[in-house]
Amino acid sequence: MRFLRVMGFLLLAAAVCFGQSPDSLTNSQMPSVITIPPEAQPSPNFNADAATEAYLAQIPATARARSDAYFEGGYWLILWDFLYGAVIAMVILHLRWSAKMRDLAERITRLRFVHDIIYWIEFTLLTTILGFPLAYYEGYVREHQYGLATQSFGPWCGDQFKNLLVNIVLGAIAVPILFAIVRRLQRTWWIWGAIVYCVFFAVTAMLAPVFIFPIFNKITKLDDPKVTTPILSMARANGIPAREVYEIDASRQTTRMSANVSGLGKTMRITLNDNLLRRGSLEEIQSIMGHEMGHYVLNHTYKGTFFFSVMFVIFFALLNWSLRWSLTRWGDRWLVRDIGDSAVVPLVVLLGSIFFFVLTPITNTYTRTEEHEADMYGLNASRQPDGFAQGAIHLGEYRKMSPGPLEEWFFFDHPSGRNRIHDAMTWKAENLKLFEEPPTSGNSDK
């Protein structure tokens, strides 16, 4: 009961901390059309710092306040997500719900791998129900408060339900395999388990664009030569075998502008979201596509898979030790028999959340470094520093533009908007000759 009270307190505190509605700030999006300020026009005394400040000065104060509040609230949510999840895991263990779910699975069938699947379904349903208040606040209420969400409650719940089904299916494949390894290879399971987990992770990443993303959104081939011709030309110039550009109807869920490279090998594809197509200038779209191509050419998907594989080997090694340590102390009280017992899952989730919570700045720094590499590649490939500056401002609708250096190191998984504009203006300063010709029609952002 004490745990439930703690959970109630967390909820209340979350409502107090994040509940103030920034009503005065709604409808203060970044300007859709961002012009090149005089300080960023090519001239003999072009100065990257002054050009950066001039771009930032175009952001209305209300839009900046809203984006800062939204992003800083996200820092607290990292903590609340961690604590709330930890409390749920402790409740499930302490009240022996985990042991009861295992017992139920064992009564239904004698097949061991089916136990694991049934347990996984029970566990996923229970944690989804217990986690709903925070998920609802974070994914629905808060997104609406800040004008970033486009879904009404019904369709949002529909997406949550689909997400639940995807989790159940993926877990029903991975969990029995991992437990079979744990039971058969008591001493070395953590090495083999980590390898199998990483292979599973890579295969899922490979298949997701084809099998998982279309469950939530419609993905179509983009058929607008005005947009695709320069993108595909840039792809050819950079040795990228893409013949198509895809469009995703992200506006179903959000007003965020974004693009991504997804998949591995043959399922690799470049996708633009419809918000970017609708609001971004052609120069901006090209600069963002250059960035996405950078991820591809610099093999970020493979490097990222390797990085997270190393993390998972370390995690599984620590998990092996900490599971045994915890079960020696509390296994009897929780009625969890050993590490091969499916009732151990909440403890695995708890230890995993501690591990990745502590490593947040490291995983953020890893991705931010790759994002910075892709930024520089994109500037070289697209030669659109002003388009890139416009994109950085648009992305600033949900990311703080000017954080402190430590704040950026800790919380940012992409370079901050200010640094991205500064990179673009530094690039422009070194390539002024490209811009000295009088702009031809269609090449400016009026």
Residue ranges in contact with Zn ion by CB under 5 A: 371, 374
Quote the least distance from Cβ 295 to Zn ion, whole Å: 6
**DSSP secondary structure code for residue 254 in this structure:** B
Which lies closer to Zn ion via its Cβ, residue 102 or residue 368? 368
Quote the least distance from Cβ 320 to Zn ion, whole Å: 34
| Distance, CA of 199 to CA of 203 (rounded, Å) | 6
| Distance, CA of 257 to CA of 248 (rounded, Å) | 11
- Residue pair 216/273 in contact by the 8 Å Cβ criterion: no
Quote the least distance from Cβ 387 to Zn ion, whole Å: 15
Quote the least distance from Cβ 221 to Zn ion, whole Å: 22
Quote the least distance from Cβ 291 to Zn ion, whole Å: 6
Which lies closer to Zn ion via its Cβ, residue 274 or residue 375? 375
Which lies closer to Zn ion via its Cβ, residue 244 or residue 413? 413
Which lies closer to Zn ion via its Cβ, residue 242 or residue 319? 242
Which lies closer to Zn ion via its Cβ, residue 122 or residue 371? 371
Select from 338, 373, 411, 434 the least CA-distant residue to 76.
411
H helix or E strand, kind and range, residue 259? strand 259-262
Cβ neighbours for 234, distance < 8 A, ≥ 6 positions apart: 286, 289, 290, 293, 381, 382
Select from 430, 434, 425, 432 the least CA-distant residue to 51.
425
Which phi and psi angles does 88 have, rounded to 5°?
-60, -45
- Strand order across the beta sheet in which 246-248 lies: 219-221, 246-248, 269-273, 259-262
| Distance, CA of 123 to CA of 98 (rounded, Å) | 8
- Residue pair 39/428 in contact by the 8 Å Cβ criterion: no
Which lies closer to Zn ion via its Cβ, residue 77 or residue 374? 374
Quote the least distance from Cβ 280 to Zn ion, whole Å: 15
| Distance, CA of 389 to CA of 384 (rounded, Å) | 9
| Distance, CA of 418 to CA of 259 (rounded, Å) | 20
Which lies closer to Zn ion via its Cβ, residue 257 or residue 344? 257
Quote the least distance from Cβ 403 to Zn ion, whole Å: 18
Quote the least distance from Cβ 359 to Zn ion, whole Å: 20
Chain position carrying tokens 């340590």: 325
Which lies closer to Zn ion via its Cβ, residue 138 or residue 371? 371
Q: Count of alpha carbons within 13 Å of 141, Cβ hemisphere only? A: 13
Cβ neighbours for 306, distance < 8 A, ≥ 6 positions apart: none
Which lies closer to Zn ion via its Cβ, residue 116 or residue 397? 397
| Distance, CA of 173 to CA of 116 (rounded, Å) | 10
**DSSP secondary structure code for residue 239 in this structure:** T
Which lies closer to Zn ion via its Cβ, residue 28 or residue 416? 416
Quote the least distance from Cβ 371 to Zn ion, whole Å: 5
H helix or E strand, kind and range, residue 309? helix 300-334
Side chain identity, residue 432: L
Quote the least distance from Cβ 429 to Zn ion, whole Å: 23
